[in-house]
Amino acid sequence: MTALQQRPGVVPEEADGPLGLHLRRLRHARGLTLDDLARRSGVSRAMMSKIERGVAVPTATVLGKLALGLEVGLSRLMSGQRERAPVLLPPAAQPVYRDPETGFTRRSLSPLFPDRRVDFALNVLPPGKVAAFPPHPHGVEEYLFVSRGALVVVVDGERFGVGEGSSLFYLANVTHEFRNETDVPVTFFIVVDGTGAA
């Protein structure tokens, strides 16, 4: 273990753990019952209970609805916040979400701090698949870069073809989806920035 890894607060235990545990902690921290969050998110009480118990994995759309209902970003829902200090995140410490229906994967690359709202993620979308997300809170912006393949991004009904090496900026407070209309996986990075993205 390096000196950096031994520093207190670099990788606290509360930052690790399954999605269901983080969902329950965030819900309790906001004083919400399952019924309260169901009304706010549009996700059924039964589905949330299954996610919290670890017997179901939400689709990307459901994950986005839960994040919106809790007023947090996707990475905050997947992982806890960390103390502001140098943080080394080896692959095993980077929370990974995999959509059970599409195979879409999202790896959180950035630590989350209580006073910052920047989120950096690596995404892979299999051939012929679509990952759709509900609007984020007002003020959230996304910067997308395709590192391998070609992606179609639909922002509030407007289509953008984003080829390998190209980038796209958009306001994320509208419905947005990622489409892989090719026969090979597409890999892309997203930086989410905004007051509602914690």
The domain that holds 146 is classified in CATH as: 2.60.120.10
Residue 42 within any structural domain of the chain: yes
Residue 2 within any structural domain of the chain: no
Residue 137 within any structural domain of the chain: yes
pLDDT tens by residue, 65-97: 888 888 777 766 676 655 666 778 888 888 888
- The predicted model gives 122-136 an average pLDDT of 94
Residue 3 within any structural domain of the chain: no
User: Which CA distances in Å does 66 have to 25, 40, 113, 118, 190?
Assistant: 13, 8, 20, 19, 19
Range of the domain at 57: 13-193
Residue 134 within any structural domain of the chain: yes
Return the amino acid letter for 91: P
Residue 8 within any structural domain of the chain: no
pLDDT of residue 114: 63
Residue 67 within any structural domain of the chain: yes
Exposed (0-12), middle (13-18) or buried (19+): which is 81, by Cβ within 10 Å? middle
pTM exceeding the 0.75 threshold for the entire prediction:
no
Residue 19 within any structural domain of the chain: yes
Number of domains in the chain: 1
Distance CA(60)–CA(11), nearest Å, equals 26
